[in-house]
Amino acid sequence: MSSDRLPVFITGAGRNVGAHIARRLLADGVPVIAHYRTPTDEVDALSTAGAVVIRGSLDDEASIRTVADAVMAHSPRLSGLIHNASRFEPTPNDTRSAAADFADYWAIHMLAPYLLTTLLTPALAPAGDRASDVVMITDIYADDPTPKHDVYCATKAGLQNLALSFAKRLGPGIKVNVIQPGPISFTNWHKPDDQQRILADTLLGRAGNPEAIYQAVRALMDNDYITGAILPVDGGRRLGR
């Protein structure tokens, strides 16, 4: 990993994949600045383990700028930035709710990564000859959308496109890569039939876990000749059967 003694900042670290990545980075000796919105036991545990924790929403420009300022106040130098925070639900059928959701998805999946990456670029200036890292977590659905989740998918596709612009803009000092998770965990609205259908379509025949995403983060950060890459971590789900 580049600049190991400088912190990595990760968004949405209050639970699930984000909390796991933060925990594993700390265990590997990498300082962590962990963003969260809702307090959880996992946030308390990260703080106890030595992470700097920053609470905030990423709903609009003002709140995103507040989070960026808080990161800079804690550490004007970073070795990495991981855009993990996300929302995932089916698009509502009524257009008023769908329009409101669209604004939320756009803010969390596109505006926040755009502004945070831009505002924190000075902090990511490389230390020595190793590039720093930005990792955007999207979804295999960014390439092959499900119409039921079209707004989620479209904004994740937008994030993926932004990542490629940032890779072009920020090289050679900063590498920018994308991780596309597949079925890592199921939500409480995934019915057992849906889960079985998804796993039957997944070449490895099982769900993944947050550790698979952490291993992909490490692989990208540890490799000094990968930028602008899009890495599926999906057990082969994108190919189906």
Ligand X SMILES: NC(=O)c1ccc[n+]([C@@H]2O[C@H](COP(=O)([O-])OP(=O)(O)OC[C@H]3O[C@@H](n4cnc5c(N)ncnc54)[C@H](OP(=O)(O)O)[C@@H]3O)[C@@H](O)[C@H]2O)c1
* Residues engaged in binding ligand X (CB under 6 A): 12, 14-18, 36-38, 57-59, 84-88, 108, 137, 139, 181, 183-185
* Alpha-carbon distances of 171 from 113, 130, 227, rounded to whole Å: 17, 12, 8
Query: Closest approach of Cβ 42 to ligand X, in Å?
Result: 9
- 221: its two tokens: 């950060």
Nearer to ligand X, 100 or 125 (CB): 100
The dihedrals phi and psi of 233, each to the nearest 5 degrees, come to -125, 80
Cα distance between residue 180 and residue 207, in whole Å: 14
Distance, CA of 171 to CA of 19 (rounded, Å): 28
Q: Which is nearer to ligand X, 32 or 58 (CB)?
A: 58
Q: Nearest distance from residue 219's CB to ligand X, in Å?
A: 16
User: What are the angstrom distances between the C-alpha of 126 and each of 41, 80, 123, 133?
Assistant: 34, 10, 8, 9
Instruction: Tell me whether residue 101 or residue 139 sits nearer to ligand X (CB atom).
Output: 139
CB-nearer residue toward ligand X: 34 or 170: 34
CB of 217 to ligand X, least distance (A): 11
Q: Which amino acid appears at position 32 of this protein?
A: V
Rounded least distance, CB 180 to ligand X, Å: 7
| Residue 152 among the catalytic residues | yes
Closer of 39 and 173 to ligand X (Cβ): 39
Among candidate residues 36, 105, 152, 214, the one labeled active-site is 152
Helical H runs in 110-149? Answer: 112-120
CA triple 107-108-113, angle to 5 deg = 95
Return all residues near 31 (Cβ < 8 A) that are at least 6 apart. 5, 6, 7, 8, 50, 51, 52, 75
Q: With CA atoms as reference, report the closest residue to 219 among 186, 184, 162, 179.
A: 179
CB of 72 to ligand X, least distance (A): 18
Report the catalytic residues.
152
